[in-house]
Structure 1
Amino acid sequence: MSIRFAPTAKKAVAGLAIAGAVVSASGCGAILSNLQEATQRAEDQGSDSVPSEPTTPAEEPVEEDTSLESPPPAEEEDVAAFDIAVGDCLNDESIQGEVSEVPLTDCSAPHDSEVYASTISAESEWPGDQAITDEADQFCLDEFATFIGVPYEQSVYDFSYYTPTREAFEQFDREIYCVVYSPGEQTTGTLSGAAS
């Protein structure tokens, strides 16, 4: 049996890394351009000397700060989708559509999402794909502020959910799981009470 992962609309994320790369590249171009101009002036003045590349004063060796290094990746364990529970952390960024297993990892290591709430569908018969999605969306939205500490609209975090497929629902696997995540990056530890 499988479960369906249904991502919600993601909030916009700025591409700061690309902007930084453009600034760095344009700075290097300016240094190269200045060096070429100085070389041309020296040749125009009839001088045989060509300016050397700019030098920087010798610096004392800097001790590396290892506190910013990423911790080693935690081991993942594929578990049955219906065996996850509130408080579990997952590396499920690449999951789409129906799945029967999800990659469970330790919350103390970088991870993609955290299961923050679950409920049994209120429906007694299969309500259809849209209805089960609507039920999950409303439930996870309602539980979001309780877990994070601020309403969804004010949060930097986003949520998604796992819902049962029709086959699973008819076999009485009717649980809905809500997951919270930080768009575009992994988090470490729990987001409970993050208030952001």
Structure 2
Amino acid sequence: MIRRTRRGLAALALTATVSIALLGCSTADDGPDRDAGTGQVTEEATIDIVALEVGDCIMDAPSGLREDIDVVPCTASHDQEVFHEIIMPDGDFSETDIDAASMECIGDPYTAFVGIEKAESVFEVFPLVPSETSWDEHDDRTIQCVVFDPAGPVTGTLAGASR
């Protein structure tokens, strides 16, 4: 799982084919410029990972490490897209509970977004999940489901892509 914190991110993938590490202190803007009607990102920006929203399209860092998240309009070439969020209930941090909830990323929300079941799709998925530190210190309860095409960058949303 990818652990989301303001100071650092460590990574494991939901599937064995994905491995990403994100580290760093945030010096980015609080949020990108967004269209007032749609909420979509309107221009490239570097943001704190906790400012990501459903529908945001993001870039990989060439090294696999990055301090912040680079978001771009989905009409531009991008590497990944946030397609669903799961809000965990309050209580003690539990990696087991977070891992179990993260499985929703490859269930009905995936099928509704892409248009076919994960088992039939070429796209891969991983969750961005809270770390124990972000859970305790920042009340971070959000799991974000991220989809990407392992063949490389895409232009446009993967919503309804059915591949």
Using structure 2 for the length normalisation, give the TM-score: 0.70
Q: How many residues in Structure 1 have an aligned counterpart in Structure 2?
A: 131
Which protein is bigger by CA-based radius of gyration? 1
Q: Which runs of 5 or more structure 1 residues have no equivalent in the other structure?
A: 12-73
Deviations 1:9-49 (A, max 9, x none): 239xxxxxxxxxxxxxxxxxxxxxxxxxxxxxxxxxxxxxx
> What is the Cα-based RMSD across aligned positions, in Å?
2.5
Within 5 Å, give how 1:1-196 maps onto structure 2. 1=6, 2-7=8-13, 8-10=15-17, 76-92=44-60, 94=62, 101-122=68-89, 124-128=91-95, 130-136=96-102, 138-142=103-107, 143-170=109-136, 171-196=138-163
Give the Cα separation in 2 of the matches to 1:156 and 1:184.
9
Give the Cα separation in 1 of the matches to 2:9 and 2:51.
11
Using structure 1 for the length normalisation, give the TM-score: 0.59
Q: Which moved more, 1:159-168 or 1:116-125?
A: 116-125
Secondary structure, aligned partner of 1:179? strand
Q: Percent identity?
A: 27
> Is the 2:80–2:148 Cα contact (8 Å) retained in structure 1?
yes
Aligned partner of 1:34 in structure 2 is none
Give the Cα separation in 2 of the matches to 1:172 and 1:83.
14
Letter in 2 for 1:84: L
Q: Which runs of 5 or more structure 2 residues have no equivalent in the other structure?
A: 1-5, 19-41
Aligned partner of 2:38 in structure 1 is none
Deviations 1:42-72 (A, max 9, x none): xxxxxxxxxxxxxxxxxxxxxxxxxxxxxxx
- Per the TM alignment, residue 96 of structure 1 is displaced from its structure 2 partner at its CA by 5.3
Structure scoring higher RCO (CA < 8 A, sep ≥ 6) equals: 1
Letter in 1 for 2:86: T
